[in-house]
């Protein structure tokens, strides 16, 4: 599946063409590069930026290739398993939830894939974070230890990938404060600082995650003991 999601962009930039599986599945509908276009495309990037929140599980479904009319999803020939959807098909994206768990191993696999298959480019993780559902009855509740734990998990995965040779050079939390989210409006907040949208003043308040992250950036420990037998020093 990486050959469709990541390879769609990275393969031409690094190897000069779309991945072989895309050529095979898409056929003549997939455009070809002219010699001049290849000169412009190959190596034409300074770094790779990704937004990463969750793991999406897939399994083969080659029957989709028998469809006469198909889109990108059909060309990938997979079935999706989306554990972040509840029984009503409502999206719970990066939430504290019994069925939505932190999956930092997925970030490590993505960075390893880029390292091994795409010549280890400079990588910036542009967005990573966890959301909470807006609860008007909760008021200005700063209790979001789950978000601090989530960030610890993913920052640790980023550090481990770097130590294993990945050229990841940047990591950014989404977001500094609650904002209007493209998919969710004001129903979900990803902010280290919360915003009370029921208040005319749109009052901001500091969450637990903001205090933890500020301390970490000032040199504090990632965890009391981040890895077995190894602690990050102050």
Confidence check: pLDDT of 151 > 50: yes
Confidence check: pLDDT of 110 > 90: yes
What φ, ψ does residue 26 adopt, rounded to 5°? -90, -35
Q: What is the C-alpha to C-alpha distance for residues 193 and 176, in angstroms, rounded to an integer?
A: 6
Residues forming CATH 3.20.20.80 domain(s) in the chain: 47-54+90-217
Q: Look at residue 139 and give its three-state secondary structure.
A: coil
CA angle 162, 166, 168 (to 5 degrees): 75
Average predicted confidence (pLDDT) for the chain: 84
Average pLDDT over residues 194-211: 90
Active-site residue identified among 112, 127, 156, 160: 127
In this prediction, residue 1 carries a pLDDT of: 60
Q: What is the C-alpha to C-alpha distance for residues 51 and 87, in angstroms, rounded to an integer?
A: 26
Q: What is the C-alpha to C-alpha distance for residues 33 and 3, in angstroms, rounded to an integer?
A: 18
Could you give the C-alpha distances from 116 to 11, 14, 23, 189, in angstroms and in order? 12, 12, 21, 35
- pLDDT category, 98, cuts 50, 70, 90? very low
- Environment class of residue 163 by beta-carbon count within 10 Å: exposed (0-12), middle (13-18) or buried (19+)? exposed
Question: Which of 124, 170, 130, 134 lies closest to 151, judged by CA?
Answer: 130
pLDDT digits (tens, 9 = 90+) for 46-94: 999 999 988 888 889 999 999 989 988 899 999 887 655 544 444 454 4
> Is 37 among the catalytic positions?
no
> What is the CATH class of 47-54+90-217?
alpha beta
H or E stretch at 124: strand 123-127
Whole-structure pTM value: 0.84
């Amino acid at each position: 599946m990486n050959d469709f999601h990541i390879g769609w962009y990275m393969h031409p930039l690094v190897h000069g063409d779309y991945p072989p599986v895309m050529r095979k599945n898409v056929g003549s509908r997939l455009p070809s590069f002219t010699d001049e276009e290849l000169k412009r495309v190959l190596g034409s990037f300074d770094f790779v930026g990704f937004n990463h929140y969750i793991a999406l599980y897939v399994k083969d479904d080659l029957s989709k290739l028998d469809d006469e009319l198909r889109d990108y999803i059909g060309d990938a020939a997979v079935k999706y398993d989306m554990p972040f959807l509840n029984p009503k098909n409502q999206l719970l994206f990066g939430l504290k939830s019994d069925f939505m768990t932190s999956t930092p191993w997925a970030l490590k696999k993505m960075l390893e894939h880029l390292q091994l298959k795409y010549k280890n480019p400079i990588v910036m993780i542009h967005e990573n974070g966890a959301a909470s559902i807006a609860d008007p009855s909760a008021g200005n509740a700063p209790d979001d230890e789950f978000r601090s734990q989530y960030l610890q998990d993913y920052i640790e995965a980023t550090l481990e990938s770097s130590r294993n040779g990945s050229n990841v050079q940047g990591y950014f939390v989404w977001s500094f404060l609650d904002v209007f989210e493209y998919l969710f409006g004001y129903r979900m907040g990803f902010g280290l600082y919360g915003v009370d949208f029921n208040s005319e003043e749109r009052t901001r308040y500091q969450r637990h995650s903001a205090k933890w992250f500020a301390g970490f950036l000032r040199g504090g420990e990632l965890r009391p003991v981040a890895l077995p037998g190894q602690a990050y020093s102050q």
